[in-house]
Amino acid sequence: VTSSPRPEPRRVLVIIPAWNEEATIAAVVDETRAALVGGNVIADILVVDDGSDDATGRVAEASGALVAHLPVNLGVGAAMRTGYRYAQRLGYAITVQVDADGQHNPADIPALLRALAEGADIVIGARVAGDGAFVARGPRRWAMSLLSGTISRIARTRLTDTTSGFKACGPRAIELFARSYPAEYLGDTVESLVVAARSHLVLREVGVVMRPRAGGQPSHGPARSAAFLGRAVLALGLALTRPRPELRGEPYRRYEELGA
């Protein structure tokens, strides 16, 4: 895999997987750009349009983001892998994934990047109490604490929110995810972390405040909570017993050591 020549190599790529998010995508792109400029981060924004039926792709293009159009809907795992492949091919050192529904506040991106620079391969933006705090109850809550507890143990660090889609990744994580970003249920969050932890990547988390969705429908209703618990247990069990992915590429290097 060769990377295309670019006049000015940029180091950070913000990946926004979007499926039928025409109502919010332009605002998310604009806000992300503003946050990057405000945080003095040189970055490109890539929207991966996951086969949307609405105008998501064109709205994203009009807002000035790079847009990769998946010809059919493949799910968030495939959208993320597309983003990581793009990052790897064009030699981005860092990626940040942000949801297209406006739940994540792009103003937190510099905090994630700082934590990454302090020595981590993956930094998770963990949902904490605050305005629009994420409150889970019943089986969903049990499932989430089971997932967090188990992944914390493998990663040898305390993680409180392993189903967050707000993550920053360094070069080793990009290399791993470009090759094998899980497509299974919960693969985009839980299994990707299990894979990373088992490959001895360094995981950290930073508390971020979630906002209510700016638009679109929540993908989880209360009725699905019990099914979520069952599938979460299966997903975790499978992820833990799969053959360990071998880590290729360079050994871990700090953000500063990557050179300007």
Partner 1 sequence: MNLLAQSGYPFALVVSALLLLALFWLLRTQRLREKYSVLWFAVITGWLTALAGVTTPINLVFILAFLVLLVVCIQLSIEISTLEESARTVAEEVALLRLELERRTGKPQSLPGQETDVRQPHTDESPAS
Q: Give dist(CA 152, CA 197) in Å, integer.
A: 9
Shortest gap between Cβ of 23 and partner 1 (angstroms)?
A: 6
Contact between 68 and partner 1 (CB under 8 A)?
yes
Residue (2 or 40) nearer to partner 1, CB: 2
Q: CB 45 → partner 1: shortest distance, Å? A: 13
Token pair belonging to 126:
């963990």
Cα-Cα-Cα-Cα dihedral sign, residues 104, 105, 106, 108:
negative
Half-sphere exposure (Cβ direction) of 120: Cα atoms closer than 13 Å: 22
Binding status of residue 22 toward partner 1 by CB under 8 A: yes
| Choice between 12 and 206, CB closer to partner 1 | 12
What does the H/E/C string look like for 39-105? CCCCEEEEEEEECCCCCHHHHHHHCCCEEEEECCCCCHHHHHHHHHHHHHHCCCCEEEECCCCCCCC
The least distance separating partner 1 from the CB of residue 4, rounded to whole angstroms, comes to: 7
Q: Which is nearer to partner 1, 158 or 242 (CB)?
A: 242
Of 22 and 31, the one with the shorter C-beta distance to partner 1 is 22
Among 12, 15, 59, 109, binds partner 1 (CB under 8 A): 59
Region from 126-134, 161-169, 218-226, 234-242 binding partner 1, contact rule CB under 8 A: 234-242
In terms of CB distance, is 206 or 229 closer to partner 1? 229
Total binding residues toward partner 1, as defined by CB under 8 A: 37
In the window 192-231, what residues touch partner 1 (CB under 8 A)?
A: 231
Does 241 interact with partner 1 (rule: CB under 8 A)? yes
**Contact pick of 58, 114, 200, 211 for partner 1 (by CB under 8 A):** 58
Q: Is the dihedral of CA 35, 178, 144, 154 positive or negative?
A: negative
Q: Which of residues 117-176 bind partner 1 (CB under 8 A)?
A: none
d(CA 36, CA 32): 6
Can you tell me the distance from the alpha carbon of 211 to that of 105, in angstroms, rounded to the nearest whole number? Answer: 7
10 makes contact with partner 1 (CB under 8 A) = no
Compute the distance between CA of residue 160 and CA of residue 81 in angstroms, rounded to an integer. 24
CA proximity to 74, closest of 132, 18, 3, 9: 18
**Which residues contact partner 1 (rule: CB under 8 A)?**
4, 22-23, 25-26, 48, 54-55, 58-59, 61-63, 66-72, 74, 78, 81-82, 85-86, 89, 183-185, 231, 234-235, 238, 241-243
